[in-house]
Chains A and B, each alone.
Chain A
Amino acid sequence: MTLNTFIFYFFSALAVISALLMITRRNVVHSAIFLITALLATAGIFLQLRAEFLFAVQIILYVGGIMVLFLFVIMLVNLDVAVRQAAFNRQAWLAILMAGAMMGTVALAVWLGRASVHLPPVKAGALEPNTELVGEALFQNFMLPFEIASVLLLVAMIGAVVMSKKRI
């Protein structure tokens, strides 16, 4: 029971609990807060997996960028009435049932086929200088996807701006 495994179980428990709380809260801002805690917990797990660069990117991009965007929109779309309305739609129970069934079949399939998967033994400490390695990979063998991603972001920016302008 080293510190390392303790961290993993702590963060995964935190992530699951806050994810559950996120989808059950009536107040939208509270669920946004719990999503932020879930994302921070996953960032902790990335750290535990020795992926520091991803830890930083997750916090800067996901939590510092996207969630701020979410909070801005929640505050602009300041609907107090939403809090009093029913949070779950009519087919809530049916949806949970269906989701449970789907997840059950996937879990069953993985459980049955676990013998056939031959995962090579874990190579310890293979990704030590994490940031340098990620940087090299990103700019050497993943050059094309990197450019496509930047074009994607550009398109998304323009789309978001055009859509939320009052008078185009």
Chain B
Amino acid sequence: MIDLLIRFFAPHLVPLIIVLVVVLVLPLLAGYVVLLERKVMADIQARLGPMRVGPHGLLQPIADAVKLLLKEDIIPENADRFLFWIAPLISVTAAMVAFAGLTFAPGKYEFFGHLNTVAVADLNIGILFIVAVSSMGIFGIVLGGWASNSHYSLLGALRSSAQMVSYETAAGMALISGLLLAGSLSTRAIVEKQAAEGVWYVFFAPLAFFIYMVASIAETNRAPFDLPEAESELVAGYMTEFSGFRWALYFLAEYCNMIVVAGIATTVFLGGWLRPFEGTREADFLDLAPTVIFLGFAGYCLWRVPRQFEKIHKIVLSIFAGLCFVIAAALALPVTVQPAWKPVLHGVFWFLAKVVAYLYAFMWFRFTFPRYRFDQLMRLGWQWMIPVSIVHVMMLGLALVLQRPPQQGGLGWAWWQGMLVSTGGTLLVAAWLGALGERRTQRIAESGV
């Protein structure tokens, strides 16, 4: 019986393990992204941020998780129980399943007689799958707002889903520009193409990256576009009636969505697991960068240990320092001994580094920009973002044709000349659209609203 089971599951064992890793690490990662966000917010606002739970607030995510588990879980009176229970689940599953398409490190590895990549599944419709599944997240929000049986949550839910639907188009178009360059949908192939090209696609199509960043901020309901829960009378939008663990699920879904969106941007534009200047040999000292960074962390933690007040903080901080040392050693090992493991460890490190950098930009926008009004937000989405991203796809097509070698009907231009043409053309159209919008608001202001 057992060997039947093993034979039955053999080809799928490694993906199952990676799924386990992703599903367990994700809430932890999301928790620490929340801590990072609160610390960065505090730093920008000239204050300290959470310092009480654990040294420098390092145990804050665990404290939050426990609190949310123990909090009372109120279900509003005559709310729709079935929907109330399933809405957060839809949101979280959509966010987590979207991780299946992302590839974290290069190469295939042979386990249990089957070749597996360092990803949950090596889909050849990678990006399309991720976009499709994360568009399911809208149902979690719409049904959550509907089930909590309050007029304002419904209004908040309708608004945030309308926002997500309209910015998904702009994000999709921006991704198409990236995929035009790569010529394939599978995340592994895209990054391998960038490795072959030697240049990340963010330099090929910087405008597409910019549009995608703005659209992804709007799609995850964050920063200047986090209008639904910030409206004065919508209080917390669709999340108002949820409390305790249900609310934690929505919160987890939002942060997983952020990490997924950052993952897509890293894969398509920032060269996934590629180390900066992957090709050039002179830049090999960058291989040491991961170990140096983690050694820096560990050193800083050790330096802070004597300054902690409570004994427990000293212990926790030294554990963290030990952890950083272990990771630093793990990352240093391949550089010296060069086993087959090097690409995986370094690949995952660079992938996560870029994801964290992308999330840092998210947080930075959140604390420096005021909020858009809902109609401005929709007008920006429909009258500026979507047309500009479509024009960019066309311009990029033109640039790619120009870059073709002369015998295939192109002019044999270099990639940066193509980039200039596509970016310049799109900026022209964007400026023209902006001026049109400006004149329109002028006319409205004069004529009196």
Interface, chain A (partner B; CB < 8 A): 3, 27, 29-30, 33, 36, 52-53, 55-56, 59-60, 63-65, 67-68, 71-72, 75, 78, 129-131
Question: Which B residues, 82 to 128, have Cβ-Cβ distances below 8 Å to chain A?
Answer: 82-83, 86, 123-125, 128
Q: Give per-residue flags for B133-147: 1 if the beta carbon is below 8 A from chain A beta carbons, else 0.
A: 101101100110010
Distance A60 CA – B138 CA, assembled complex (angstroms) = 11
B142–A68 contact, CB under 8 A?
Answer: yes
With a CB–CB cut-off of 8 A, which chain A residues contact B369? none
In the complex, what residues of B have CB within 8 A of residue A3's CB?
A: 8
Interface residues on B, range: 20 to 34
Interface presence of B80 (CB below 8 A): yes
Is B132 positioned at the interface, with any CB of A under 8 Å from its CB? yes
Asked if A68 and B139 make an inter-chain contact with CB atoms under 8 angstroms apart, the answer reads: yes
Chain B residues in 8 Å Cβ range of A33? 83, 86, 143
CA distance A59 to B135 in the complex (A): 8
The distance from the CB of B245 to the nearest CB of chain A, in whole angstroms, is: 22
State the Cβ distance, A127 to closest chain B Cβ, in Å: 12
A-B contact pairs, 29 of them (CB 8 A): A29-B83, A29-B143, A30-B83, A33-B83, A52-B123, A52-B124, A52-B125, A52-B129, A56-B128, A56-B129, A56-B131, A59-B132, A59-B135, A60-B132, A64-B132, A64-B136, A64-B138, A68-B138, A68-B142, A68-B161, A68-B165, A71-B143, A72-B158, A72-B161, A72-B162, A75-B154, A78-B154, A129-B124, A131-B125
Residues of A within 8 A of B217 (CB): none
Contact call A131/B133, Cβ cutoff below 8 A: no
* Bound-state Cα–Cα, A56 to B129, Å: 6
Question: Using Cβ atoms and an 8 Å threshold, which residues of chain A touch B129?
Answer: 52, 56
- List chain B residues, Cβ under 8 A from A29: 80, 83, 143, 146
- Whether A63 contacts B124 by the Cβ 8 Å rule is no
In the assembly, what is the distance between CA of A131 and CA of B125, in Å? 8
CB pair B128–A53 under 8 Å, yes or no, is yes
Contacts A29-B146, A131-B125 hold; do A60 and B139 have CB atoms under 8 A apart?
A: no
Bound complex: CA of A60 vs CA of B125, how far in Å? 13
Alpha-carbon distance between A89 and B397 when the two chains are bound, in angstroms: 55
Q: A3-B8, A29-B80, A52-B125 are in contact. Are A75 and B142 (CB under 8 A)?
A: yes
Please give me the residue from chain B that is nearest to A52 by CB atom: B125
**Min CB–CB distance A161 → chain B (angstroms):** 12
Interface string of B60-100 (1 = CB under 8 A from A): 00000000000000000000101100100000000000000
In whole Å, how far is B175's beta carbon from the nearest beta carbon of chain A?
Answer: 12
Of B8, B83, B124, which is within 8 A of A131 by CB? B124
- Chain A facing B: main interface SS: helix
Contact (Cβ within 8 A) A60 B135: yes
Tell me the B residues contacting A by CB distance below 8 Å.
8, 80, 82-83, 86, 123-125, 128-129, 131-133, 135-136, 138-139, 142-143, 146, 154, 158, 161-162, 165, 168, 185
Nearest chain A CB to B201 CB, angstrom units: 19
Q: Which residue of B lies closest to A3 (CB)?
A: B8
Which residue of chain B is the closest to A30 with respect to CB atoms? B82
Q: A3-B8, A68-B161 are in contact. Are A36 and B139 (CB under 8 A)?
A: yes
Chain A residue numbers with a CB within 8 Å of B138 are 64, 68
Known interface pairs A29-B83, A60-B132; A71-B139 also in contact (CB < 8 Å): yes
Chain A residues lying within 8 Å of B158, measured Cβ to Cβ, are 72, 75
Expressed in whole angstroms, the Cα–Cα distance for A124 and B231 within the complex equals 56
Chain A contacts for B83, CB-based, 8 A: 29-30, 33
Chain A nearest CB: distance from B408 CB in Å?
18
Minimum Cβ distance to chain A for residue B142 (Å): 5
User: Within the assembled complex, what's the spacing in Å between the Cα atoms of A63 and B123?
Assistant: 21
Most chain B CB within a 10 A radius of its CB, from A63, A64, A67: A64
| Chain B nearest CB, measured from A137 CB (Å) | 16
Quick one: closest B residue to A59, CB to CB? Answer: B132
| CB-based contact A56/B136 at 8 Å | no
A44 CB to nearest B CB, Å: 13
Given contacts A30-B82, A68-B138, A131-B185, contact A56 B125 (CB under 8 A): yes
Taken together as a complex, chains A and B put the C-alpha atoms of A29 and B124 apart, in Å, by 35
A36 CB contacts on chain B under 8 angstroms: 139
Q: Once the chains bind, are A59 and B125 in contact (CB under 8 Å)?
A: no
Given contacts A29-B80, A68-B165, contact A60 B131 (CB under 8 A): yes
Q: When A and B form their complex, which 7 residue pairs have the shortest distance between CB atoms, in order from nearest?
A: A64-B135, A59-B132, A56-B128, A56-B132, A52-B125, A60-B132, A71-B142
Chain A contacts for B8, CB-based, 8 A: 3
